[in-house]
Structures are given as structure tokens and as C-alpha cells.
Amino acid sequence: MNSIDSHVKEIERVAAGEQSHRDPCVVQSWLRCMNEYKLDPANAQDAYIVPDATLREHQEQAESLIRISRAGLAALFDQIAADDYVLLLSDARGVAVDYLGNPRLDRELRRAGLYLGADWSENRAGTCAVGACMVSREPVVIHQDDHFDPTHTPLTCTAAPIFDTRGELAAVLDISQLSSPIAKTSQRLALHLAKATARRIEMANLVARTGDEWVLRLSRTPDFLDTAPDAAISLDGAGRITGLTLGGLESLGRSLGFVGNNPQALIGQPISTLFDLDVDELPYFMRGHPAGERLLHANGEPMLFASAMSPADPQRVVVPVARVPKKEALDAMSHGDTTMQSLQAKAAKLAARHIPILIQGETGSGKEVLARAIHDSCNDGGRFVAVNCAAIPEHLIESELFGYVPNAFTGAARKGKTGLVESAAGGTLFLDEIGDMPLALQTRLLRVLSENEIVPVGGVEPKQVELRLVSATHRELKTLVADGVFREDLYYRLNAATLSLPPLRAREDFDGLLDRLVDDLGRRYGESYRLDIRARRLLRAYAWPGNLREMQNALEVASALSDDGVIRERHLPDTIRQPASTEPDLLRQLEQCDGNVSALARRLGVDRSTVHRRLKRSRQSATQH
């Protein structure tokens, strides 16, 4: 009898009621496969990967959990990658929506179903770790011939459930290997790691979703109370339990006997049903008090150590713009965009010396923010003085910039006036729209740069000024030189150190910027806002001619229109909500991303193969027309 036959016979004997040496969770799953799903163990089926469009739908629904889980999954993968484990995050329907695996094994992993988009629901795939975990809501190891379908018996798979803050199954974390030692005990460490990571993800999810509530983190010992607690619960202002990390709480409850059979039933109950604790006492359990003394009691008995995070706890929020320490202002300008990173490094070096800097970039791309960041990054005590050359009437620019001596001209103040250049002495003069500066003044500016001196209107005595000049323009200065309206010598003087800000549509850190602006709005209005996936996709797909300023305004309006803090498609301006781009539009958008398919894929929120497919279609339709 070959091994497949003996495997099938064993399952049939178990189904007929024979005792088995297998773990109870395996036996129960086999019985479900035979009796409920009517699967045939002799009928081997290949792993099933859902179509791209279906996968995207699953990913969109799990979007926030995927985002919150990412750091935990990456840390886990680092620990297990050397042993050729793959890591799958499956949603509550059993479809792998996130995946980390060794690209070297890509083809084998895909064939085995250890891959993005694989459907591991038990009624389709038979006994498997994801499927059994979904049904039992318990961590499981399904090792080799524990699998029901003979196709999967080479694999070893370990899964742990991830619950949402109300105790519903949200996802399953699975780590698997294509081949493994015979002994099932070889997977003990894998089980421990999967459980620990699932707890961390539940914890991160609870903290991320309860911005305006208290979070009470619980631990058996004081040692890791603030850094790696066992479980957590969230509490509203009246001290009622609004959410919990079910996996952690169950395991604590089991060992301490304090939770009862069903921690989910705690939702809505006052915290006093669990511990001898009142909401007013929570501040005592915050960081700053010795961890060893933050001990919770139940019925007078010491129970668990606790660490409370207040709704305004700085650990819970992204550092707001206003609170960015000045020295780090330059770093805070981007969130992983490579062009910005090299620009920031260049800016930091230039700022350290008094070299004139020219910032180029489309309107609203952040030229003034960059100029301020340069000033703040090495503030030597002087002021940041911003002048918009296009906004001051031409006949006033000279006196505004250079000041004037007493009674210099009719209507001038009797005591004279200090010019903006002089008031920036020791600091930074920011000349916005420098392309609009009249020619005569350009000559005087050149003198400031080369001689470090100014002569006020009506005066003869030059005054010494040391300052950092940062200028900005959204126009092509070279063209202005060719047209004779911008001095060539000044152009060369400024052009030596040019910083070109990328437009928003080309930024690789688009999502980071978006989240940052949404967080900033939340802080400004004391609310908590988030974007739903459709709104996010529309924002990604839009071309943003007005760059960050336009995005900031759109989000400001959308957040005001949202009733529950969720920014949805209908809250966005019409210009952004217009129907999804047509195929010829796609070519235009590709151009805007400098032909970079990965950048376009990120912007549209789809994968690269989808972009390639759509581009092929649009090129075909372009040649047909």
C-alpha cells in the first residue's frame, strides 16, 4: 500500500470512530472534512490561489490590519527566514492577504499554496493550519500527514488566530515550511513565535484603534509591563471596557482564573467587574510610577501588573508637526521618498555654510516649508524672514527689502525704516518667487550676496549684513535669463546650489504624507480621522496639480464633512472623485511618474503586473486610434 493509500485509510478509520494518536484538533478537522464538507481524501486537489481581482478585494477589506501587522510580521520573518519558513497573513475568510517568503523558492511556494492569494479555508483545502485555526479559534500545528488532502502532506504549517478589539476573528497568522523534520515537536518554537506575534499585532491594533480611550496593559510580571505586556483592554471615560486583546486575555485568564469562560462578554462592563479598580485611579498606573507598585487586585487578592495609557499619551500618537524638534525639521519632511532623502541630506550640508540656496518646485510642493526647515536645522539665533516678491508692489519692493534712511522720500517715515534684509541678519532671508524680482533690485541683491552689505534707500553708507539667503521659484529661471528679465550673474550665483522638490504625484512616500496630513488634522481639531480604502485609492490616483497644499485643503474639507471621523469617497472634492482614469490617461500618469511603473503602481494602489497589463491595453488602443 503506498503512502497516499495508507493516509486515506487512516482518515476513513477515524471517520468510522476509531481511536487516533493525532491531536484532537486534527481529528476534529478530519471529521468536519468528511462529514460536513463531504471532501474525499483520495481526491487530491492542487492549492487554490484566488484571481488577482478577488485578492485585491480581500486586501482592501483587511487594509488597516495589514498595515498595522506589517512591522510585527517583518520582525517575525527576520527570525525564521533562515530556516526557509514562509509567513502568511490570512483574512477571516482564509485568503492570504499578506505574505513574506524567500524569493528563491517562489515557484515551489506558489505551487504549494504558501503564497499571496492562497485560499486555505477548511471546506476548500481540507485540514490545514489556517482552516483549523479559523474554526477552532485556537493556535494549531498541522504537521505533514495531519493534512487531509494528500497534496499538502509534505508541508508543516503553524497558525495562530488574531482577534479584533471586540474579540471577533480578524485574521490568522501562519508560518509554514515546504519540508521539515518528521517529528511534530520540531514546530514547538514556531508555535510559540506565531502566538507571540499574534499577541503583538492584537496589541498594536487595540492601541491604534482606541485613540480617545484609556488603554490598560496587563502583565504577570512587572519586568516587561511597558514594553511587552501579555494583554490589554481599552476603557471609555466612564471606565467601561470597550475593547480587548482576546488572545492575550484568554491565556492570562486561563492561568490566573480571573476572566471566566468568555472574555468577549466583558465588553460594555465596568472595569470594576474585573479588578478592584475605579476609572479615577487609572492615572496612578501610568508610566512614571514604579512598575513593581502598579499591581491590580481582584477581590482583595493581588492579580496582575498594569500599565495605563491615557488618551493623550504621547506614545500613542505620531509626533505632531508643531512638536517636531527644530533640529529634526528637515528629517520630518519626507517618509521614505528617495529623491527627498538625498535632497534633505544636500540641504543639511548647504545649510551649515552660508551658501545661497535656490529651491525649485511646483506650486504647493513645500518650498517655504523646506526653507524654514533649512533655517531651523541650524538656527544660529537670527530670524527667518519670508518675502514674497510677487506679492509686494514693484515700487515698494526696494524700500521693503533694503529699508530707507530718515525722510528718504515723500511719505517716508521720519525715523526711517529697517529693511527686511537687515532684519534677517544672522538668520535666513527667504525670497519666494524670486523670478518676479525687478531687474534693478536683482543688482542690489547681488551686492548683498557678494559684499555682504546693503545700502538703504536714500542712504550712502553701506551696512554689513551676514545672512543665509534661500530663494524659491516655480518658474524656469534659465528661460527668464534668455528673455532678459533675470540677471545671468545672479542666476549663476543662485543656481550653484539648487534643490528641486519633486511634485506630490511623483513622491514614493505618498501614503506616508497622506497619513501625516490626516494625523495633523486630527490633532488640530482634537478628533481622530482615518481614510477608508476607496478614498485613499482616489487620492492616490489623482494628479495633484496643486501638490501638498491642494491635498491639505481637500483633506481639511473632507474631514469637516465626515460625521464619524472616517473620510470617505463622498467627502472628497468633485475634481478628485471623477471616474477612474481611462486607459489613455494611464500613459499620461506614467509620464508624470517619469516612466517608473513601480511608482505608478503605488499611486494607483495596484500591483505592477496590473499596471503592465493595463499599459499594454492602452498602448494597443492608442495605436488603433
Ligand X SMILES: Nc1ncnc2c1ncn2[C@@H]1O[C@H](COP(=O)(O)OP(=O)(O)OP(=O)(O)O)[C@@H](O)[C@H]1O
Stretch that binds ligand X, among 48-56, 302-310, 362-370, 376-384 (CB under 6 A): 362-370
CA distances from 126 to 28, 36, 39, 156 (A): 12, 11, 7, 14
Nearest CB to ligand X, comparing residues 387 and 454: 387
Question: Of 156, 205, 219, 365, which lies in the binding site for ligand X, with binding defined by CB under 6 A?
Answer: 365
Nearest distance in Å: CB 401, ligand X: 18
Nearest CB to ligand X, comparing residues 149 and 432: 432
Question: Of 383, 549, 577, 619, which lies in the binding site for ligand X, with binding defined by CB under 6 A?
Answer: 549
Nearest distance in Å: CB 552, ligand X: 5
Q: Does 523 engage in binding with ligand X (CB under 6 A)?
A: no
Q: Does 369 engage in binding with ligand X (CB under 6 A)?
A: yes
The label of the residue with cell 476509531 reads 18
- CA distance linking residue 486 with residue 124, whole number of Å: 71
Nearest distance in Å: CB 371, ligand X: 8
Nearest CB to ligand X, comparing residues 295 and 391: 391
Using CB under 6 A, count the residues that bind ligand X.
16
- CA distance linking residue 5 with residue 145, whole number of Å: 12
Q: 385 with 423: CB under 8 angstroms?
A: yes
Question: Of 170, 518, 548, 590, which lies in the binding site for ligand X, with binding defined by CB under 6 A?
Answer: 548
Nearest distance in Å: CB 574, ligand X: 21
Nearest distance in Å: CB 155, ligand X: 46
Q: Does 251 engage in binding with ligand X (CB under 6 A)?
A: no
- CA distance linking residue 342 with residue 348, whole number of Å: 10
Q: At what angle do helices 510-525 and 597-604 cross, to 10 degrees?
A: 30
Give CA angle at 505 (531, 71), nearest 5°. 50
CA distances from 517 to 119, 333, 341, 569 (A): 36, 12, 19, 17
Nearest distance in Å: CB 431, ligand X: 11
Q: What is the DSSP letter of 319?
A: P
- Write out the binding residues for ligand X, residues 419-448 only, by CB under 6 A: 432
Q: Does 519 engage in binding with ligand X (CB under 6 A)?
A: no
Q: Does 585 engage in binding with ligand X (CB under 6 A)?
A: no
Question: Of 80, 92, 133, 333, which lies in the binding site for ligand X, with binding defined by CB under 6 A?
Answer: 333
Q: Does 364 engage in binding with ligand X (CB under 6 A)?
A: yes
Nearest to 118 by CA among 101, 100, 94: 94
How, if at all, do strands 357-360 and 468-473 pair? Answer: parallel
Binding mask 466-485 for ligand X (x = CB under 6 A): --------x-----------
Q: Does 324 engage in binding with ligand X (CB under 6 A)?
A: no
SS3 per residue for 583-624: HHHHHHHHHHCCCCHHHHHHHHCCCHHHHHHHHHHHHHHHHH
Number of C-beta neighbours around residue 135 at 10 A: 18
Q: 308 with 215: CB under 8 angstroms?
A: yes
Q: Does 117 engage in binding with ligand X (CB under 6 A)?
A: no
Beta bridge partners, 91, equal 171
- Write out the binding residues for ligand X, residues 484-513 only, by CB under 6 A: 513
Q: 364 with 547: CB under 8 angstroms?
A: yes
Residues within the interface to ligand X (CB under 6 A): 333, 361, 363-369, 432, 474, 513, 516, 548-549, 552
